[in-house]
A = this chain, B = another copy of it.
Amino acid sequence: AANRDEKSSGKKFASYTVFKGKAALSIHPILPSFSKLESGGSRIERNGSVMLTFFPAVGQRKYDYTKKQLFSLSPTEVGSLISLGPAESCEFFHDPSMKSSHEGQVKKSLSITPLGSDSGYFVNITVLNNVQKTTDRLSVPITKAEFSVMRTALSFALPHIMGWDQVLTHQPAAPANSKP
A contacts, CB < 8 Å to B: 1-16, 18, 28-29, 31-32, 34, 37, 39-44, 75-80, 82-83, 90, 143-149, 152-153, 155-168, 170-175, 178-180
Contacts and interface: CB of A to CB of B under 8 A. Distances in A.
A80 B144 contact: yes
A38 to B, nearest CB: 12
Contact of A148 (B10, B31, B44, B80): B80
A76 to B, nearest CB: 5
A156 B79 CA distance: 14
A172 B11 contact: no
A78 B168 CA distance: 15
28 contacts: A3-B8, A3-B172, A3-B174, A4-B178, A5-B178, A6-B40, A7-B172, A9-B41, A10-B40, A11-B39, A12-B41, A12-B44, A13-B41, A13-B44, A14-B43, A14-B164, A29-B164, A75-B149, A76-B143, A76-B145, A79-B148, A79-B149, A79-B152, A83-B144, A152-B159, A153-B164, A157-B168, A160-B168
A168 B165 contact: yes
Given A79-B146, A168-B31, A14 B44 contact: yes
Contact of A10 (B41, B143, B152, B156): B41
Contact of A180 (B9, B40, B143, B180): B180
Given A3-B178, A29-B164, A162-B16, A40 B9 contact: yes
